[in-house]
Amino acid sequence: MTMDKNAQLFERARQVIPGGVNSPVRAFNAVGGTPAFIARAQGAHLFDANDKRYVDYIGSWGPMILGHGHPQVLSAVQAALLEGFSFGAPTEREIALSEAILKLMPSMDMVRLVSSGTEAGMSAIRLARGYTGRNKIIKFNGCYHGHADALLVKAGSGLATFGASSSAGVPAQVVQDTIVLEYNDIGQLEEAFAKYDGQIACVIMEPIAGNMNFVRASTAFTRRISELTQEHGALLIYDEVMTGFRVALGSAQSLYAQQIPGFKPDITVLGKVIGGGMPMAAFGARREIMEKLSPLGPVYQAGTLSGNPIATACGLQTLSLISQPGFHEALHAKTGQLMAGLKAEADAAGVPFSVDHQGGLFGFFLLPELPSHYEAVMKSDKPLFNKFFHGMLARGHYFAPALYEAGFVSSAHTDADIQATIEAARDVFKTL
Ligand code: PMP
């Protein structure tokens, strides 16, 4: 009998780490079963503790857009390691990474580097409140912006009542200024702005929501958010932690600007790809907003490891490689190939299935039609999804272990990888 090292490690992990994991979704609590403990990764492949190989459609939840262990990224990181791990003092590479980000995202004049998306989102909210002198914020049901207290809020029952905290340990007072609305619902948005006229500091949104699988904000919804925030002196915060540099070189905001002339968010939140797998995130805006930040202005924000020299080296090399002409077009085509293949196999097996993708981000639903908001996403057949997930995992194809998570393709995925996944799905769909 072969020993299952994943099971052994999971048992050991659970003794010392809550749930055995350092971020909840890794525990497979949504799908059941034992998580694979990853020993190493190369290109588009993960290898677990049993040395089983998987085609990786998570990519560390977004950062690994070039796949794992890209040789040029590795050498940039190796060179940086020899120079020192962290100085707590400014470095030239922070300027270079900031310049590289700003060049690709003209909505921002300045950017501040931090270490996680949570930190970036939390700081962006503080900045918006500090800049506007207002307290209320609007977020959308199903969008995730990290685990800052004010953002851990469930949708309430209508606008009269504010959402309740979605986590123990968050006092009601802390979320009393957070208004939760349904994604893609223009009516609710108009109602909220009318009701709280002059009180709303900002609207924070994922332009393509990757935390309820894959749901695009409609152009009409985005246009209305932009109009209402401008009319009411509120700021639009675009959380592009997931979409940034992944759905297009100019990120999701460049795609919406093609539909809505002159469109740009006021503040952008970034993470994942800009660190290439190292702890790195950022938030940026036009100069007058960013100059409110400490040490120039009254909004405090800081970090011991912010702008870390290894992370900036990794991020810079990653941004440089994905800036090559045609990179995102090729990635979009490859992701499209996977989606079309899965859809064809599901159709052939008579399984209800809908797909969408942009660049290297994708979503598939065990639903006949693409959903446009959280409630619709959660109508997916959970047991059916879990069966699909485990069927694919057993065959060596690693999708996100929850039906409300997006999927990720990297430039390291080969046609053979994609084809193998489609063939495995053919078998799995027959079992559903
Ligand atoms: N915003 C979005 C859109 C995210 O997807 C995430 C994480 N998945 C975050 C913020 C939080 O980032 P982090 O996990 O780095 O704190």
How remote is the CA of residue 344 from the centroid of ligand 1, in Å? Answer: 32
Helix axis angle, 186-195 relative to 219-232, nearest 10°? 10
Confidence (pLDDT) at 362: 98
Res. 330: pLDDT tops 60: yes
- Provide the pLDDT confidence category of residue 303 given band limits of 50, 70 and 90: very high
The stretch 271-279 carries a mean pLDDT of 98
Taking phi over 0 as left and psi of -120 to 50 as alpha, with beta for the rest, 349 belongs to: alpha
pLDDT at 336: 98
Nearest atom, ligand 1, residue 61 CA: 8
Q: Can you tell me which atom of ligand 1 is nearest the CA of 272?
A: 15
DSSP secondary structure letter of residue 61: G
Q: Dump pLDDT digits (tens) for 67-105.
A: 999 999 999 999 999 999 999 999 999 999 999 999 999
Closest-lying ligand 1 atom to the alpha carbon of residue 271: 15
What are the CA-CA distances from residue 324 to residues 67, 257, 317, 329 (Å)? 16, 21, 12, 11
Nearest atom in ligand 1 to the alpha carbon of residue 243 is 3
CA of 241 to the centre of ligand 1 (A): 6
| Dihedral sign computed on CA atoms, order 336, 338, 339, 343 | positive
Which residue among 149, 242, 306 has the greatest number of ligand 1 atoms within 8 angstroms of its CB, and so is best to mutate? 242
Please name which of 257, 188, 255, 276 lies closest in space to residue 228, comparing C-alpha atoms: 188
- Does residue 354 have a pLDDT over 70? yes
- Per CATH, 5-69+325-431 and 71-322 having the same topology is answered no
Tokens 């994609």 belong to: 418
> Which of 119, 144, 308, when mutated, tests ligand 1's pocket best, judged by the most ligand atoms within 8 Å of its CB?
144
For residue 158, the model assigns a pLDDT of 58
Domain range 5-69+325-431, CATH architecture? Alpha-Beta Complex (3.90)
pLDDT of residue 161: 54
* Mean of the per-residue pLDDT values of the chain: 96
What pLDDT score was predicted for residue 3?
Answer: 82
Q: Is the pLDDT at 33 greater than 90, yes or no?
A: yes
DSSP H/E element including 130: helix 117-132
- Torsion (CA) 255, 259, 262, 264 in degrees, nearest 10: -40
Three-class SS of residue 73?
Answer: helix
Q: What does the pLDDT read at residue 210?
A: 97
Q: How far is the CA of 42 from the centre of ligand 1 (A)?
A: 24
Candidates 341, 349, 324, 310; CA nearest to 409 is 341
Atom of ligand 1 at shortest range from CA of 146: 11
CA of 428 to the centre of ligand 1 (A): 31
- Ligand 1, residues at Cβ distance < 6 Å: 61, 116-118, 121, 144-146, 206, 210-211, 239, 241-242, 271, 281
pLDDT band at 250 (very low <50, low <70, confident <90, very high): very high
| Helix (H), strand (E) at residue 42 | strand 38-42
Using the predicted structure, report yes or no on whether residue 1 has a pLDDT greater than 70.
no
Amino acid at 87: F
pLDDT digits (tens, 9 = 90+) for 155-182: 765 554 566 889 999 999 999 999 999 9
pTM for the predicted model, two decimal places: 0.97
**CA 157 to centroid of ligand 1, rounded, Å:** 26
pLDDT value, residue 194:
98
The pLDDT value recorded for residue 369 is: 97
Longest dimension (CA), the chain: 68
Residue 2 has pLDDT above 70, yes or no: no
**Domain segments of the chain: what residues?**
5-69+325-431, 71-322
Distance 429 CA to ligand 1 centre (A): 31
User: Does the domain made of 71-322 have the CATH classification 3.40.640.10?
Assistant: yes
What pLDDT is attached to residue 53?
Answer: 98
Q: Which residues are catalytic, by number? A: 144, 239, 272
